Amino acid sequence: MQETLAQLLEDIRGCRHCADALPCGPRPIVQAHGAAPLRIIGQAPGRKVHETGIPWDDPSGDRLRRWLGLTSEQFYDPRKVAIVPIGFCYPGKASSGDQPPRPECASLWHDRLNAHLRDVRLTLLIGQYAQAHYLGDRRKATLSDTVRAWREYLPLGSLPLPHPSPRNQPWLAKNPWFEEELVPDIQNAIRSLNL
Ligand code: SF4
């Protein structure tokens, strides 16, 4: 018998597969419901999210919700938005920023989880790890090139985005077309989902 989404989420939340590599221990962060039309594939939770257990509960999340034109109430409704990071647990600090998401996590869980997300009509691929996993060789040479080619991916149901972290401010300052052209397109695409 196929596992239910509730069983799968329970398994994910109990996962300790790479516990030895996680300096703060496992705390998988995921939000999912079979009815969600919007799926957000992010990177991995940061330290603050690890502590609160609430996805995107940080300045990156504030900026992401502004880009999407979504209220917190809409964003945290699992029937509207599935939140599925490439690595479900906080991977710890690096010399600059955080460590990359754990490489084993997405291959362990994403296909099983996505099998339950049958109503998804738009997937946001935030940052290089999400784009590498979901676009593979359909990625362009750089993250900037991939994001800039959004009109190519949107009809196929995906939107590649940069990370909304305050640490990414220099990229946003260097690429004003993102806020001027892409953000309005994101908001139109989200509006068409009638969340
Ligand atoms: S990062 Fe993924 S694989 Fe590792 S313990 Fe957390 S849920 Fe499991």
Q: Band the pLDDT of 96: cuts 50, 70, 90.
A: confident
* CATH assignment, 5-191: 3.40.470.10
Cα(173) to centroid(ligand 1), Å: 34
Mean pLDDT of 186-193: 97
Closest ligand 1 atom, residue 101 Cα: 1
Mean pLDDT of 80-108: 96
Domain ranges of the chain: 5-191
pLDDT digits (tens, 9 = 90+) for 11-21: 999 999 999 99
Q: How many CB atoms lie within 10 A of CB 7?
A: 10
pLDDT digits (tens, 9 = 90+) for 40-68: 999 999 999 999 999 999 999 999 999 99
Residues with CB under 6 A from ligand 1: 12, 15-19, 26, 28, 87-89, 102, 104-105, 108
Q: Are 132 and 101 in contact (CB under 8 A)?
A: no
Cα(178) to centroid(ligand 1), Å: 32
pLDDT digits (tens, 9 = 90+) for 148-165: 999 999 999 999 999 999
Query: How far from each other are the two terminal CA atoms of the chain, in whole angstroms?
Result: 32
Hey, which residues does 125 pair with through a beta bridge?
41, 160
Q: Which of 85, 20, 80, 94 is nearest to 54 (CA)?
A: 85
Q: Are 167 and 97 in contact (CB under 8 A)?
A: yes
Residue percentage of the chain with pLDDT more than 90: 97
Mean pLDDT of 23-39: 98
pLDDT digits (tens, 9 = 90+) for 164-177: 999 999 999 999 99
